[in-house]
Amino acid sequence: MKRRLKLLAITCILLLPALSWSASIRPGAYVSGFIGASVPRSTNVDSSQLAADGSFLSARDEVEFDPGINIGGTGGYDFGFLRLEGELSYKHSEINTITDRADGFRFGNPDGNIGVFAMMGNAFFDLHNKGPVAPYLGGGIGFANLHLSDTFGTDITSNGPERVFLYPEDDDTVFAYQAGAGVGIALNRRLTLDIGYRYFGTSRARFSDGLDTAEFRYESHNAAVGVRVKF
């Protein structure tokens, strides 16, 4: 991850040899909206379930997700070379595969999804030059509320294929962080087209219905296109 961010930074700098730290033409407050794609990374899920005999069965699975949506908005202040903002965003993805790491068995037809509502405080450094295109770098920290749906999969038993319950539906609010880069393309003195990438992650979340539990970290690659409107 650190290598990717370094490469993004170097690329942005090389694209603009005449880079300067001059303030933007018109600093001020702004709002923005964006929409794009979220590509979650695979994650290890530690789960436990109450068995028929009263004991708890534990498992560790590798879960992969389908690409999903990334949508949100921001509000902040542009100081010229530095932007400070608050961000609200939502990401949603369906579960694609669930594989038992102990024996490599892959559950058939998994049915479940993850939704992530994040509240972030961000800081971005704009690398201005004489042209309308300004690369930027930065990141933020905050909190994310993760919602995991009831999750099912098809297992192979002595009686043949059987639909089984794997993870419980629940919400958990955890620490979140992100880092990324992008370019702002000034359309006029008020509007800026924003094309950006963010790497987003959370601390470990725990989901429980009182008996069954599932725990994992959420991480995703996110690309978005948006518009910033300066007042």
Share of the chain above pLDDT 90, in %: 77
In order of 28, 136, 142, 146, 214, the CA distances from 178 in angstroms are: 24, 14, 9, 15, 24
Going by their DSSP bridges, the two strands 151-157 and 108-111 should be labelled as: antiparallel
- Binning pLDDT at 50, 70 and 90, where does residue 15 land? very low
Q: CA 101, 102, 107, 112 torsion: positive or negative? A: negative
- Report the pLDDT value the prediction gives residue 157, as an integer from 0 to 100: 78
Contact in structure between 197 and 220 (CB atoms under 8 Å)? no
Q: Which helix H or strand E contains 8, and what residues bound it?
A: helix 2-15
Residue 147 has pLDDT above 90, yes or no: yes
Q: Which helix H or strand E contains 83, and what residues bound it?
A: strand 82-100
- Report the pLDDT value the prediction gives residue 7, as an integer from 0 to 100: 54
pTM, entire model: 0.85
**Torsion angle of alpha carbons 56, 100, 217, 224, nearest 10°?**
-140
- Report the pLDDT value the prediction gives residue 23, as an integer from 0 to 100: 38
Among the listed residues 95, 117, 91, the one whose alpha carbon sits nearest the alpha carbon of residue 172: 117
| Count of the separate structural domains present in the chain | 1
> Which single residue is written with the structure tokens 């880092």?
179
- Please give the mean pLDDT across all residues of the chain: 90
Model confidence over 21-50: pLDDT tens digits? Answer: 333 457 899 999 999 999 999 999 999 987
Contact in structure between 121 and 78 (CB atoms under 8 Å)? no
Model confidence over 68-84: pLDDT tens digits? Answer: 999 999 999 999 899 99
CATH code of residue 26: 2.40.160.20
Residue 3 has pLDDT above 80, yes or no: no
Range of the domain at 7: 2-50+59-230
Model confidence over 51-74: pLDDT tens digits? Answer: 766 678 899 999 999 999 999 999
